[in-house]
């Protein structure tokens, strides 16, 4: 861990040393996809390799093998199945991540000039091109909610899959007025995009 070096900063301000470039970063785009273990079968590995190579020609692709549970012991699969995470994680061999961003861009920082045209182009390449190469071999792949596209259109299915109906029921029971919500969180479709207007009950 690295402590916040600014004078007077609280002792609780810290971050992982390997993530220092992310502190205050302006995220251009972030895509993730659970890659099913079935893609490692003999008849599909070639297509997976081709898709990964094609995507890598457009942008850096990371495979987070520690985030997939394909091949894990039965008891670990059962424990994960009892969570809200998209059940695709149970059979995924990895979480593919394609992301990009620029340096810190907080308003008021000296010499802050975000490259917005470059950010938009990077976003286009990430979502409309690089990740599409992977979705060609995993068209139903969901995303990990904590590392995903802020603008995901089918977020209910993508983030929670078959769990979403149950999560909505739990939400309705314990928060019937929908007071507590976040962007693309369970029940947030009942609010306007800015979060100020209730659009449905």
Q: Is the pLDDT of residue 128 over 80?
A: no
Question: What value, to the nearest 5°, has the Cα angle with vertex 44 and ends 42 and 46?
Answer: 90
d(CA 194, CA 171): 20
User: What is the pLDDT at residue 52?
Assistant: 97
So where are the chain's domains? 24-152, 162-201
Contacts within 8 Å (CB) and 24+ apart, 177-181: none
CB 74 within 8 A of CB 109: no
Choose among 71, 96, 91: nearest CA to 161: 91
Beta strands in the chain (DSSP E): 2-3, 14-15, 25-36, 62-64, 92-104
Please check the confidence at residue 103 and state whether its pLDDT lies above 90: no
Model confidence, pTM: 0.86
pLDDT, position 200 = 77
For residue 100, is pLDDT > 80? yes
Compute the average pLDDT of residues 135-162: 95
Residue 106 in this model has a pLDDT that exceeds 80: no
d(CA 83, CA 78): 9
Residue 9 near residue 121, CB atoms below 8 Å? no
Region for 128 from its dihedrals, namely left if φ exceeds 0, alpha if ψ lies in -120 to 50, beta otherwise? alpha
pLDDT tens-digit series, residues 46-70: 999 999 999 999 999 999 999 999 9
Q: Buried (b) or exposed (e) across 65-94, using 16+ Cβ within 10 A?
A: eebbbbeeeeeeeeeeeeeebbbbbbbbbb
């Amino acid at each position: 861990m690295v402590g916040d070096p600014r004078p007077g900063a609280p002792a609780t301000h810290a971050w992982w040393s390997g993530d220092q470039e992310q502190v205050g970063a302006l995220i251009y785009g972030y895509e993730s996809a659970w890659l099913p273990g079935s893609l490692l079968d003999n008849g599909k590995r070639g297509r997976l390799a081709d898709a990964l190579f094609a995507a890598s020609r457009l942008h850096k692709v990371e495979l987070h093998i520690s985030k997939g549970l394909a091949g894990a012991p039965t008891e670990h699969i059962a424990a994960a199945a009892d969570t809200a995470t998209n059940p695709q994680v149970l059979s995924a061999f990895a979480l593919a991540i394609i992301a990009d961003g620029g340096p810190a861009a907080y308003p008021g920082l000296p010499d802050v000039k975000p490259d917005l045209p470059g950010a938009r182009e990077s976003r286009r390449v990430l979502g409309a091109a690089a990740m599409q190469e992977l979705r060609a071999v995993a068209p139903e792949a969901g995303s990990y909610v904590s590392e995903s596209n802020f603008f995901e259109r089918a977020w209910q299915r993508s983030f929670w899959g078959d769990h979403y109906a149950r999560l909505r029921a739990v939400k309705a029971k314990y928060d019937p007025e929908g007071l507590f919500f976040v962007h693309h969180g369970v029940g947030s479709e009942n609010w306007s995009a800015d979060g100020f207007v209730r659009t449905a009950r």
